[in-house]
């Protein structure tokens, strides 16, 4: 068909053909990746996004020290105050009595968030029938203390021994032995794929449900 045409025209046609094939292959690869790879994304990453989303419920253990964190001066953040006044205070009498009760709710309730200490969750994680994730921007540091009388003569020796245990790594070793389960980071999650044989049915279901012009949700 191109006989008698200049070489420049043949080169242009051949180059256009290669470009179209490359673009089509790239698009097909991207579409297949979107439809077959399960990407994990947290619904919110901090308290402010939790409020903006407005579809989740936050609970914590009734009469726990976590309640005080929403009220102390150094936690005087508007988003946390709003969460406490709108979600915690109105149902204070019906909040879970224990961490275990809250974690059970977390496994079977939809759009539910539970706030507690990391060590408490790690100690019970193996007994749960669901996988949990930590919200990175909705965490705060807390310390464990030992209560003793004012001006106790044992304070100095106790502090000294605790510091020695920490310096030689014994506290860290005890913690890892007691709570061996840790939460994976989101970026470390294994990417799960779907067999190629399911791609055709997935595309067909998406087109029938959403229409050709709509996007496919990334769930």
Average predicted confidence (pLDDT) for the chain: 72
In angstroms, the CA 134 to CA 142 distance is 16
Structure tokens at 161: 């021994």
Per-residue confidence band for 37, with pLDDT thresholds at 50, 70 and 90: low
Answer with the residue of higher pLDDT: 207 or 36: 36
Alpha-carbon dihedral sign for residues 16, 18, 22, 24: positive
Q: If you average pLDDT over each of 31-45, 73-87, 122-136, 158-172, which comes out highest?
A: 158-172
* Residue carrying structure tokens 């297949």: 32
User: Is residue 114 within 8 Å of 102, Cβ to Cβ?
Assistant: yes
| Residue 93: predicted pLDDT | 85
**Which whole-number Å values give the CA distances from 106 to 71, 130, 178, in the listed order?**
24, 9, 23
Residues ≥6 apart with Cβ < 8 Å to 118 = 134, 139, 183
Q: Please provide the size of the chain in residues.
A: 219
| Residue 4: predicted pLDDT | 52
Cα–Cα–Cα angle for 167, 170, 171, rounded to 5 degrees:
90
Cα–Cα–Cα angle for 34, 35, 38, rounded to 5 degrees:
75
| pLDDT 10s digits, 77-98 | 678 888 888 888 888 888 888 8
pTM, two decimals, is 0.54
pLDDT of 3 > 70? The answer is: no
pLDDT of 211 > 60? The answer is: no
Structure tokens at 83: 């969460």
User: Is residue 113 within 8 Å of 57, Cβ to Cβ?
Assistant: yes
| Residue 146: predicted pLDDT | 76
User: Is residue 111 within 8 Å of 56, Cβ to Cβ?
Assistant: yes
pLDDT of 26 > 70? The answer is: yes
Strand partners, 193: 37
Transcribe 192-217 into DSSP letters: EE--GGGHHHHHHHHHHHH-TTSPPP
Lowest-confidence pick of 9-23, 160-174, 200-214: 200-214
Answer with the residue of higher pLDDT: 2 or 166: 166
Sequence-ordered alpha helix ranges (H) in 115-154: 118-124
| pLDDT 10s digits, 159-195 | 898 889 889 888 888 877 766 555 544 444 444 444 4
């Amino acid at each position: 068909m191109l006989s008698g045409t200049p070489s420049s025209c043949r080169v242009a046609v051949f180059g256009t053909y290669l470009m179209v094939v490359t673009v089509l292959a790239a698009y097909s690869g991207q579409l297949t990746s979107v439809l077959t790879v399960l990407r994990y994304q947290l619904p919110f990453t901090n308290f402010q996004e939790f409020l903006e989303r407005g579809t989740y419920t936050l609970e914590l253990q009734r009469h726990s020290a976590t309640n005080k964190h929403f009220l102390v001066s150094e936690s005087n953040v508007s988003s946390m105050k709003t969460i406490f006044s709108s979600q915690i205070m109105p149902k204070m009498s019906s909040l879970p009595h224990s961490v275990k009760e809250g974690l059970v709710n977390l496994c079977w309730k939809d759009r539910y968030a539970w706030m507690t200490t990391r060590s408490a969750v790690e100690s019970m994680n193996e007994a749960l029938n669901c996988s949990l994730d930590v919200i990175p921007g909705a965490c705060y540091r807390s310390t464990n203390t030992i209560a003793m009388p004012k001006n106790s003569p044992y304070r100095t020796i106790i502090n000294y021994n605790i510091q020695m245990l920490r310096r030689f790594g014994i506290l860290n070793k005890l913690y890892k032995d007691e709570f061996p389960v840790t939460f994976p980071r989101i970026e470390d999650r294994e990417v799960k794929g779907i067999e190629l044989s399911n791609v055709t049915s997935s595309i067909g279901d998406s087109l029938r449900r959403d229409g050709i012009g709509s996007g496919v949700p990334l769930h």
